[in-house]
């Protein structure tokens, strides 16, 4: 099948279109969404196995020859990212049934979600830098709908900020792509990479590389460009927050990974050094934020910032260990963030507040929730054999191999702060004297907890199954490490 790698983009897209026709029929909306997402998960799982068996898949749209048409490329990294995004979205769809509320469901909530997923999958799959901009716009448009849907006062205020930041960064993105095109004369990422290594990475190209890092850094929340993220993400309801936290920043991170490994790998003394410094600062800033708040949402949101720093630190090492660790940690972080946000959604549904000071003693009444939270928290901090461990181990190993001792030590120390920040939630919410809570019906509790437990179980399996996943991740990192493999796969046809 020539077009297999497009299915994970097309299926959510088609689902979103079908959903436009009957916005008021909630049961039909839910059924179609679940059916579409199941198909998308199956398609992306098939895609991963095909990519593993046959190597990188590439198709150039409209039967144009490779550097001229828009090329879509599925290498192990993007295939795994697409599969993870689809799995997470499926879980969040189930989670939404009991939490998002009928009025939002009647106003094309699922449709916006599917459009966003199509954009996310497209951005992961595309091999053309301008097309990546288009998919960024698709996912941003849909995310504007999701962040404002419901129209609460806080949502309206934050969505203005969110839209403004993203419009500025999109404008900068287009400008940068235009500059890149004027220098290299091509938009195909593989072709850009080949041309850049031919003509050498001159000063102007390094400037473009830094501009791209800034553009994607604004979307992916690196220091100091994450300023908009904590308050904007806290505004929409929890399922949307989980979707944003798990997927959106990771698209930015993925784009930075591609930029520095595929397009501009020739001047690591400048670009990678800069990226590393920014990554370490991101981790430090995230740690301060995660400890500073007594608000469940803010604590986990600042943990997104920390994770972005850790992943980019791994990417900046330019050795196999660092890159493989970054890939491992990226997938881990998507899964665990979805799980954590879904769990704090359950806590908020029970207590009716997101303020840690106003809760306590949930352990006695909701033991299942408590233990799931503890496992997820340990997974986030990276206690072996849970999922965060191996990625961070490789990243730190990469740092030591590349003689970045201090960076590695800061990453290690940040794990402790991450652990402290989430255990603080455990102590305040689950231990201590039970406080009077709003409570929730058993049906809602189960409907929220089950998807959250499933995602947490996935992260546990991801951690325990590291040995089996290793070849896949090694493969993904090898292609990041040797861009020639990517270039050959795209331009050979």
Partner 1 sequence: MKNSDVIIQTATKVVFFIIFLFAIHIFFAGHYTPGGGFVGGLLTASALVLLLLAFDIRTVSKALPFNYTVIIGIGLILALGTASASILFDVPFFTHAYDYFDLPLFGKTSLHSAMLFDLGVYLVVVGATMNIILSIGSDD
How many Cβ atoms from other residues are within 10 Å of residue 199's Cβ?
11
Size of the site for partner 1 (CB under 8 A): 19
Spatial separation of the C-alpha atoms in residues 434 and 441, rounded to whole Å:
18
Candidate segments 6-14, 42-50, 247-255, 325-333, binder of partner 1 by CB under 8 A? 6-14
Query: Using CA atoms, how far apart are residues 197 and 268, in angstroms rounded to an integer?
Result: 13
CB of 484 to partner 1, least distance (A): 24
Q: Report the C-alpha gap between 339 and 345 in whole angstroms.
A: 10
361 vs 372: CA distance, rounded Å: 15
Q: How far is CA 225 from CA 153, 154, 262, 286, 303, in A?
A: 25, 22, 23, 12, 15
Q: What is d(CA 83, CA 36) in angstroms, rounded to the nearest whole number?
A: 14
**Smaller CB distance to partner 1: residue 14 or 134?**
14
Contact between 461 and partner 1 by CB under 8 A: the answer reads no
In 3D space, the residue among 8, 5, 55 whose CA is nearest the CA of residue 476 turns out to be 55
The single residue among 54, 62, 153, 433 that binds partner 1, judged by CB under 8 A, is 62
CB closer to partner 1, 134 vs 469: 134
Give CA torsion, residues 55, 321, 396, 263, to 10 deg.
-70
Q: How far is the CB of 247 from partner 1 (least distance, A)?
A: 22
Where in 224-253 is the site for partner 1 (CB under 8 A)? Answer: none
Q: How far is the CB of 181 from partner 1 (least distance, A)?
A: 21
Q: Which stretch binds partner 1 (CB under 8 A): 3-11, 89-97, 202-210, 462-470?
A: 3-11
Contact 47/64 with Cβ under 8 angstroms? no
Nearer to partner 1, 152 or 493 (CB): 493
User: Does 6 contact partner 1 by CB under 8 A?
Assistant: yes
Q: Is 2 in the site for partner 1 (CB under 8 A)?
A: yes
**Phi-psi domain of 29 (left: phi exceeds 0; alpha: psi -120 through 50; beta: other):** alpha
Using CB under 8 A as the binding rule, whether residue 14 contacts partner 1 is answered as yes
Q: Which is nearer to partner 1, 21 or 431 (CB)?
A: 21
Between residue 65 and residue 104, which ones bind partner 1 under the rule CB under 8 A? 69, 72
Q: From the list 54, 63, 433, 442, which residue makes contact with partner 1 (rule: CB under 8 A)?
A: 63
133 vs 335: CA distance, rounded Å: 25
Q: Which stretch binds partner 1 (CB under 8 A): 5-13, 77-85, 90-98, 260-268?
A: 5-13
Regarding 61 and contact with partner 1 (CB under 8 A), the answer is: yes
Which of 11, 399 has the CB closer to partner 1?
11
For residue 425, what are the CA distances in angstroms to 231, 296, 386? Answer: 19, 7, 19
Nearer to partner 1, 347 or 490 (CB): 490
Shortest distance (Å) from residue 386 CB to partner 1: 40
CA-CA distance, 342 to 352, in Å (whole number)?
15
Site for partner 1 in 41-60 (CB under 8 A): 59-60
Residues that bind partner 1 in the complex, under the rule CB under 8 A: 1-3, 6, 10, 13-14, 17-18, 20-21, 23, 59-63, 69, 72
């Amino acid at each position: 099948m020539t077009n297999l790698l497009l299915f994970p983009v097309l299926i959510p897209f088609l689902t979103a279109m079908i959903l436009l026709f009957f916005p008021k029929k909630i049961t039909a909306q839910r059924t179609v969404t679940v059916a579409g997402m199941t198909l998308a998960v199956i398609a992306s799982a098939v895609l991963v196995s095909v990519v593993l068996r046959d190597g990188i898949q590439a198709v150039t749209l409209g039967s144009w020859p490779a550097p001229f048409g828009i090329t879509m490329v599925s290498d192990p990294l993007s295939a795994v990212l697409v599969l993870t995004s689809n799995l997470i979205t499926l879980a969040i769809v189930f989670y939404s049934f009991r939490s998002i509320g009928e009025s939002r469901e009647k106003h094309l909530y699922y449709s916006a979600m599917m459009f966003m997923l199509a954009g996310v999958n497209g951005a992961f799959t595309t091999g053309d830098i301008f097309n990546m901009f288009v998919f960024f716009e698709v996912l941003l448009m849909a995310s504007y709908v999701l962040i404002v849907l419901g129209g609460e006062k806080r949502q309206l205020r934050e969505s203005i900020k969110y839209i403004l930041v993203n419009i500025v960064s999109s404008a900068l993105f287009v400008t940068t792509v235009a500059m890149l095109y004027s220098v290299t004369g091509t938009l195909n990422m593989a072709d850009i990479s080949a041309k850049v290594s031919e003509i050498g990475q001159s000063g102007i190209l390094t400037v473009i590389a830094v501009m791209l890092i800034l553009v994607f850094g604004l979307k992916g929340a690196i220091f100091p460009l994450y300023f908009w993220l904590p308050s904007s993400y806290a505004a929409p309801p929890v399922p949307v927050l989980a979707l944003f936290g798990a997927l959106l920043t990771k698209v930015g991170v993925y784009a930075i990974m591609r930029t520095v490994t595929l397009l501009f790998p020739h001047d690591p003394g400048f670009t990678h050094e800069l990226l590393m410094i920014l990554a370490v600062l991101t981790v430090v800033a995230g740690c301060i934020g995660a400890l500073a708040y007594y608000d469940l949402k803010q604590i986990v949101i600042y943990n997104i910032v920390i994770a972005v720093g850790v992943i980019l630190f791994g990417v900046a090492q330019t050795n196999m260990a660092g890159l493989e660790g970054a890939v491992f940690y990226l997938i881990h972080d998507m899964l665990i963030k979805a799980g954590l946000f879904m769990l704090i959604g359950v806590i908020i549904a029970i207590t009716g507040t997101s303020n840690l000071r106003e809760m306590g003693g949930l352990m006695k009444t909701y033991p299942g929730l408590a233990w799931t939270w503890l496992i997820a928290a340990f997974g986030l901090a990276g206690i072996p054999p849970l999922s965060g461990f191996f990625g961070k181990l490789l990243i730190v190993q990469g740092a030591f191999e590349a003689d970045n001792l201090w960076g590695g030590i800061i990453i290690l120390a940040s794990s402790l702060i991450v652990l402290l920040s989430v255990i603080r939630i455990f102590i305040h919410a689950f231990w201590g004297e039970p406080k009077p809570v709003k409570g929730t019906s058993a049906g809602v509790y189960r409907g929220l907890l089950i998807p959250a437990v499933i995602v947490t179980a996935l992260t546990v399996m991801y951690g325990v199954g590291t040995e089996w996943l290793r070849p896949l991740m090694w493969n993904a990192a090898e292609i990041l490490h040797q861009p020639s493999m990517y270039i050959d796969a795209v331009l050979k046809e």
